[in-house]
Amino acid sequence: MLIRQLFDAQTFTYTYLVAAAYGKEAILVDPVDSKIEQYLKLIKELDLKLKYVFDTHVHADHITAAGKLREMTGCTTILGAETGAPCASKTITDKEKITIEDIEFTALKTPGHTQDSYCLYTKGVLFTGDTLFIRGTGRTDFQAGNPEQQYDSIVNKLFTLPEDTIIYPGHDYNGNTTSTIYEEKNFNPRLAGKSIEEFKEIMNNLNLPNPKLMDIAVPANLKCGLI
Amino acid sequence: MLIRQLFDAQTFTYTYLVAAAYGKEAILVDPVDSKIEQYLKLIKELDLKLKYVFDTHVHADHITAAGKLREMTGCTTILGAETGAPCASKTITDKEKITIEDIEFTALKTPGHTQDSYCLYTKGVLFTGDTLFIRGTGRTDFQAGNPEQQYDSIVNKLFTLPEDTIIYPGHDYNGNTTSTIYEEKNFNPRLAGKSIEEFKEIMNNLNLPNPKLMDIAVPANLKCGLI
């Protein structure tokens, strides 16, 4: 499987371009509006056909490239059914399959960071969006975020996947690129050995400022970035 | 093979922690002084034994963690024989083998960015240091850098490796993490379809400012970062 992890240094966002191989259909996970030219150049070089753009949720920190990429390439844009964004070409629900040639992904509904958060799983690989980070998690204090739901999504859903599954997060602020289910189960300081009550206590006391772009990004992303 | 690509956002440096699996011997490639605690934490979590620290060359943009890691862990630090840094535990020459348990790396002498530049190769994977970047190359205008040597190192040495070899560069300034020999052969704007004369012309006209830390980093790295 061809996976290209692409980093946006402005928002510390990871975007993923995934295909079976050069010359095949591709999916882009969580693309950033300001990077469209870079994605299109890479897609052309690798001779890929962009079939899907998948946003793991309506982002508050960056504007999605989904809508513009659809206009430019004819790809299908996907968001969770809970998003309430009529701009999406297609909405998905829990355990729905997304297929690019011989790769079958399963969309896993993982509310908590937002009510519309999904992860994308295929054997060996999990794109965790803002649900699970490397030694951290997405925040739960806006967009109907809920720490109890997030704990349930991570512990009772993601942590039941094979331990050697490689985790590709939606952000990293500390210079990490990948992890595994085993590592997060055992070393994630918010989760390892923590009860749901302890997790709730941590999440409700992060006292983070709102993302700089939040007031622009959320409404823009409800229009798939077409503002 | 376990590979952890770690990013230093201050200097856009990639460091690599490599081992056969959890619980085994490990090598760190191009570690950054300010990140030592993060490396040691990760090495402990993954239950690795740090056998080697390998610097691909004497860096001008960041201070190596090699010397301090040797003091703290007892690891062996490695530099190319051309470096002239007596602080290294071990110096290597072209095609010398470096082994961690069942992984055998070959050190490839690739002068050009600096006179002491080496890449590290094992089947399927190439750590390119500052010799070859994703759609770019390291500069050749100081530390006895030489564009003709760099062209020869890349085209006649690295580009003869299998085309599906994954490239892990020493830096990236554009949000890329990995590439392949095939991609750089075909899409690197400084190299694809370019003669040695054209490459020289490009490299001699980059007009880049010196790295901010150069006057501190080079002398510090000649002492393996122990200043």
Query: Per-residue pLDDT averaged across A136-151, rounded?
Result: 96
**Closest residue, chain A, to B47 (C-alpha):** A183
pLDDT(A146) > 90: yes
Residue A1, SS3 per DSSP: coil
**Which CATH architecture best describes the domain A2-221?**
4-Layer Sandwich (3.60)
pLDDT above 70 as % of chain A: 100
B177 at the A interface (CB within 8 A)?
yes
Band of pLDDT at residue B24, cut at 50, 70 and 90: very high
Which helix or strand (DSSP H or E) is residue B28 part of?
strand B25-29
pLDDT above 90 as % of chain A: 96
Question: Mean pLDDT across chain B, nearest whole number?
Answer: 97
Residue B225, SS3 per DSSP: coil
Whether B187 sits inside 8 A of A45 (CB atoms) is: yes
Encoded tokens for B90: 């071990």
pLDDT(A85) > 90: no
pLDDT in tens, A48-62: 999 999 999 999 999
Assign domain B2-210 one CATH number from 3.30.450.40, 3.60.15.10, 3.30.70.270, 3.20.20.70: 3.60.15.10
Q: What angle do CA A42, B191, B163 make, to 5 degrees?
A: 65
Query: Between the CA of residue A7 and those of A12, A40, A119, A198, B130, what are the distances in Å?
Result: 7, 15, 18, 32, 19
How far does B211 lie from chain A, in Å, by closest CA?
A: 19
Contact between B167 and B136 (Cβ < 8 Å): no
How far does B178 lie from chain A, in Å, by closest CA?
A: 7
Query: Per-residue pLDDT averaged across A212-220, rounded?
Result: 92
A155 contacts: CB under 8 Å, gap ≥ 6: A191, A196
A33 at the B interface (CB within 8 A)?
no
Whether B8 sits inside 8 A of A175 (CB atoms) is: yes
B219 contacts: CB under 8 Å, gap ≥ 6: B227
Query: Per-residue pLDDT averaged across A73-93, rounded?
Result: 95
What is the ipTM for the molecules in this complex? Answer: 0.95
Whether A9 sits inside 8 A of B9 (CB atoms) is: yes
Query: Per-residue pLDDT averaged across A134-138, rounded?
Result: 98
